[in-house]
Amino acid sequence: MMREVFQPEYVSKFNCITSECNDTCCCGWRVMVDEDSYMKYQELLNSESPNLFEGTITNECTIPVNGSSAEIIMLPGNICPFLNKRKMCSIQEIYGESYISVTCSIFPRIYNLVNGQLELVLDMSCPHAANLALSNPSSMRFEVRHLSDIIRINKIPTLNLSDTAYPDSVYSYFGYVRTFILELLQNRNYCFENRLVILGRFCDDLNLSTNPSNEQVLELISEYRHFVDTDGFGSFIKSIPDQPAAFLKTLTNLIEYQIKTSDISKRFTDLFELFKKGLNYSVQNSDESLYATYSETKSKYYMPFMKEKDYIFENYYTNYVFKMLFPFGTQSSIFKNDVFFVNKNVFTEYVLMALHYAFIKNILVGIAGFYKEQFGMQEVLKLIQVFEKNIVHDVPYQQKLLRFFDENKMLNVAAVIMLIKS
pLDDT in tens, the chain (422 residues): 678 899 999 999 998 877 777 877 878 777 888 888 888 888 888 776 567 888 888 877 655 565 677 888 888 878 888 888 887 888 888 888 888 888 888 889 888 888 888 899 999 999 999 999 999 999 999 999 987 755 566 566 777 666 555 444 546 788 899 999 999 999 999 999 999 999 999 999 999 887 777 788 999 999 999 999 999 999 999 999 877 777 899 999 999 999 998 888 889 999 999 999 999 998 888 888 999 999 999 999 999 999 999 999 999 999 999 999 998 876 544 444 444 456 778 999 999 999 999 999 999 999 999 999 999 999 999 999 999 999 998 888 988 999 999 999 999 999 999 999 88
pTM: 0.89
CA distances from residue 253 to 76, 95, 180, 260, 282 in whole angstroms, order as listed: 25, 45, 35, 10, 11
- pLDDT on residue 167: 42
- pLDDT on residue 218: 93
- pLDDT on residue 137: 97
CA distances from residue 281 to 219, 292, 297 in whole angstroms, order as listed: 47, 12, 12
Residue 66 · residue 335 · CB < 8 Å: yes
177 φ, ψ (degrees, to nearest 5): -65, -45
- pLDDT on residue 171: 64
Angle at 88 between CA 86 and CA 92, to 5 degrees: 140
Strands 32-33 and 70-72: antiparallel
